[in-house]
């Protein structure tokens, strides 16, 4: 039983954030420590660990070292959050202490060797308020200096940026107002943040997340930078040009085009301190699937944008989708690494996309380091819409995932199920990647969950390998005239199948579905497997080195061969110097280890709940640990929980 102090009782009565301080954190580091100080390990998101104590020769001996439970599920009682919440956090580790956030934005500090709790901070997010996403992918650490101690930053789903003292977990009252900056200021409405902010020097850069299918005029997707010590706003950058003097202004056509919203950066932002650059991955302007109110190329939406970290000034941009009609946000953190060209290292930024396109660009100029072609794509037949006539296609690396689908690609576990899939596919239009939405219904390949999704990529700088897990799931998108939605109702249930985006301010409602069906046995896919894979690309030449199925989602006992069919997946992979890739993400609930040289699966462990998070690795006291958050994903319908699990050799 926990005994409340007067301070905690006061916070409960007044609604102030709650900090439960326990054991003080030791401030000394062991000489044998190898840390993981940022969401992607480094500010450039490599997700590479130089540790090799656990390696391809001994990974089969990996065992659970400790398990910690956050108590998160108790907070969901009496709310509808269980269907939305996703424990997607990747912990960070500095000074022997593990820091991570839960879907409700509580922040925990644990002993990295034992899993013992030091403190927990609760910002008291109102879980009965509606959020597009109930998740937090992690926290950020500012290392401190002689005058200021180390700080932990959490950006919340209710639009706050909070600075915490790393030793105690208490808000740093000199930051913002009592430790908090209100991110809704200057935006005009509440926004959410689901990814860890980027820290570069004494600057913290934060984007935002929005559910951008319900109306045309969403809030601005402004990226902002704050002073890490004071919380004072340093600069803001809007991905939708509002100044007619901006060169991108003319790429937005129509009387209301510049009133569009979103194009926000909800994925993790990368930073290059030596070059004073931050790399911002932007998303689709609102709404996702109809651009008739925002005709034109729509710069700087769907772009990787390099900004001067000290000023927020635009340095360069590269647009990966022109006039997005497919919800093709850049969801993955850009990776900063070096590419060898003509025997010399070249600074690069690698951008993975939902289309399965991988763009390798010069970090200082944005120019492609591998060939990219502008190719003609299908036109739209939706009245009021004009699809952009061409799109950029990387020649190398070649596109990943499912790029087109036809009746020949239909699949089912029985002849009857396959015939049903064939008939369903035949109803819709697919002219390859970038087939525009239509009234009839278009098969979008890949769908809006990838290709490469928010789980992102990792890079092994020693083997010069780029590694990513992908989904192979077509989406079905229909543009329904607002007054004709009833025509798409099921004749018996009167329910419109799939998900509707109201797209207020436009003539159409968006209806989204996917090429699978759900029955008593689970999700039955309607396209030929695999449905999820793990891929390695050789960065020396841009060519695929290997690709293997990732996990399974049908029971191999009922469906022989299912273990080779792969699984839809959410969550990313990491790679280590031990020639290992660690990834969970799949619907079968396992954390797996693969040989990074060959793609062979070497080890797996059934987690206590869904592993829709990216793992991480570190060492303390000479021992290497691999850690993952296992809490499931409400929308992905995996087993819910509240676990953090650490593995080490016996």
Nearest to 319 by CA among 374, 399, 384: 374
CA atoms within 13 A on the CB side of 66: 13
pLDDT tens digits, residue range 449-479?
A: 999 999 999 999 999 999 999 999 999 999 9
Does the pLDDT value for residue 95 go beyond 80? yes
Q: Are 441 and 558 in contact (CB under 8 A)?
A: no
pLDDT tens digits, residue range 589-618?
A: 999 999 999 999 999 999 999 999 999 999
pLDDT bucket at 491, cuts 50 / 70 / 90: low
CA atoms within 13 A on the CB side of 599: 19
For residue 423, the SS3 value is helix
Single out the catalytic residue among 212, 288, 324, 327: 327
Instruction: Give the pair of three-digit tokens for residue 482.
Output: 């607002």
* For residues 162-183, average pLDDT: 98
pLDDT tens digits, residue range 291-346?
A: 999 999 999 999 999 999 999 999 999 999 999 999 999 999 999 999 999 999 99
Which pLDDT score, from 0 to 100, does residue 15 have? 36
Q: Are 166 and 25 in contact (CB under 8 A)?
A: yes
- pTM score > 0.85 for this model? yes
- Cα dihedral across residues 121, 622, 458, 638: positive or negative: negative
Place of tokens 């390695």: 536
Residues 6+ apart with CB under 8 A from 259: 216, 217
pLDDT tens digits, residue range 555-589?
A: 999 999 999 999 999 999 999 999 999 999 999 99
CA distance 643 to 27: 26
Q: Are 416 and 424 in contact (CB under 8 A)?
A: no
Nearest to 615 by CA among 605, 419, 623: 605
* For residues 420-428, average pLDDT: 96
In 45-89, beta strands by DSSP E:
48-49, 62-69, 85-86
Does the pLDDT value for residue 490 go beyond 70? no
Does the pLDDT value for residue 164 go beyond 80? yes
What are the strands of the beta sheet with 48-49, ordered from one edge? 48-49, 573-576, 580-583, 590-595, 601-606
Does the pLDDT value for residue 113 go beyond 50? yes
* For residues 75-102, average pLDDT: 95
pLDDT tens digits, residue range 123-133?
A: 999 999 889 89
Distances (CA, A) of 224 to 142, 238, 239, 258, 301: 17, 9, 11, 20, 16
pLDDT bucket at 146, cuts 50 / 70 / 90: confident
Average pLDDT over the chain reads 92
Can you say how many angstroms the Cα of residue 155 is from the centroid of all Cα atoms in its chain?
A: 15
Which pLDDT score, from 0 to 100, does residue 286 have? 95
Q: Is 246 known to be catalytic?
A: no
Does the pLDDT value for residue 488 go beyond 90? no
For residue 375, the SS3 value is strand
CA distance 487 to 494: 10
């Amino acid at each position: 039983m926990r005994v409340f102090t007067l301070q905690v009782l006061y916070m409960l009565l007044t609604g102030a954030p709650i900090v439960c301080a326990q054991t003080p954190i030791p401030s000394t580091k062991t000489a044998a420590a190898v840390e993981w100080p940022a969401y992607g390990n480094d500010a450039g998101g490599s997700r590479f660990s130089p540790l090799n104590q656990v390696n391809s020769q001994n990974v089969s001996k990996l065992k659970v070292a400790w398990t910690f439970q956050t108590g998160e599920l108790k907070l969901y009682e009496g709310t509808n959050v269980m269907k939305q919440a996703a424990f997607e956090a990747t912990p960070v580790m500095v000074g022997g202490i593990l820091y991570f956030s839960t879907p409700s934005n509580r922040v925990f500090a644990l002993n990295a060797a034992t899993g013992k709790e030091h403190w927990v901070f609760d910002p008291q997010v109102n879980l009965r308020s509606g959020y597009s996403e109930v998740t937090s992918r992690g926290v950020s650490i500012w290392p401190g200096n002689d005058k200021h101690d180390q700080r932990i930053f959490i950006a919340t789903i209710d639009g706050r940026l909070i600075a915490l003292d790393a030793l105690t977990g208490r808000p740093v009252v000199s930051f913002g107002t009592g430790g908090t900056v209100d991110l809704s200021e200057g935006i005009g409405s509440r926004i959410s943040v689901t990814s860890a902010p980027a820290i570069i020097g004494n600057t913290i850069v934060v984007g935002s997340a929005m559910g951008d299918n319900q109306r045309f005029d969403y809030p601005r997707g402004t990226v902002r930078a704050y002073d890490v010590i004071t919380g004072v706003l340093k600069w803001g950058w809007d991905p939708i040009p509002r100044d007619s003097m901006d060169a991108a202004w003319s790429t937005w056509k129509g009387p209301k085009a510049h009133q569009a919203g979103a194009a926000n950066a909800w994925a993790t932002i990368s930073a290059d301190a030596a070059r004073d650059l931050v790399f911002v991955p932007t998303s689709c302007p609102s709404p996702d699937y109809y651009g008739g109110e925002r005709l034109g190329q729509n710069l700087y939406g769907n772009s990787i944008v390099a900004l001067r970290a000290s000023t927020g000034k635009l340095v360069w941009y590269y647009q990966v989708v022109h006039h997005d009609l497919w919800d093709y946000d850049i969801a993955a953190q850009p990776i900063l690494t070096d590419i060898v060209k003509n025997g010399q290292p070249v600074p690069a930024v690698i951008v993975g996309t939902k289309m399965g396109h991988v763009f390798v660009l010069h970090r200082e100029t944005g120019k492609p380091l591998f060939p990219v072609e502008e190719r003609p794509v299908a036109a739209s037949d939706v009245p009021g819409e004009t699809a952009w006539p061409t799109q950029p296609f990387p020649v190398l690396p070649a596109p990943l995932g499912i790029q087109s689908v036809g009746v020949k690609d239909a699949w089912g576990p029985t002849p009857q199920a396959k015939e049903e899939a064939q008939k369903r596919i035949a109803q819709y239009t697919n002219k390859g990647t970038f087939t525009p939405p239509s009234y009839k219904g278009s098969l979008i390949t890949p769908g809006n969950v990838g290709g490469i999704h928010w789980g992102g990529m990792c890079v092994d700088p020693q083997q010069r390998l780029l590694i990513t897990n992908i989904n192979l799931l077509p989406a079905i998108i229909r543009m329904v005239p607002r007054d004709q939605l009833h025509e798409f109702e099921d004749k018996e249930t009167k329910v419109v199948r799939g998900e509707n985006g109201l797209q207020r301010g436009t003539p159409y409602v968006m209806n989204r579905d996917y090429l699978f069906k759900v029955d008593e046995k689970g999700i039955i896919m309607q396209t030929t497997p695999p449905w999820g894979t793990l891929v390695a690309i050789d960065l020396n030449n841009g060519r695929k080195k290997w690709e293997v199925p990732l996990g399974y989602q049908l029971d191999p006992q009922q469906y022989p061969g299912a273990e080779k069919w792969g699984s839809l997946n959410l969550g990313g992979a990491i790679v280590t110097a031990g020639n290992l890739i660690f990834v969970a993400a799949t619907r079968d609930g396992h954390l797996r280890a693969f040989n990074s040289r060959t793609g062979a699966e070497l080890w797996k462990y059934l987690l206590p709940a869904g592993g829709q998070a990216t793992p991480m690795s570190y060492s303390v006291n000479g021992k290497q640990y691999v850690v993952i958050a296992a809490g499931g994903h409400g929308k992905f319908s995996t087993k819910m929980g509240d676990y953090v699990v650490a593995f080490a050799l016996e």
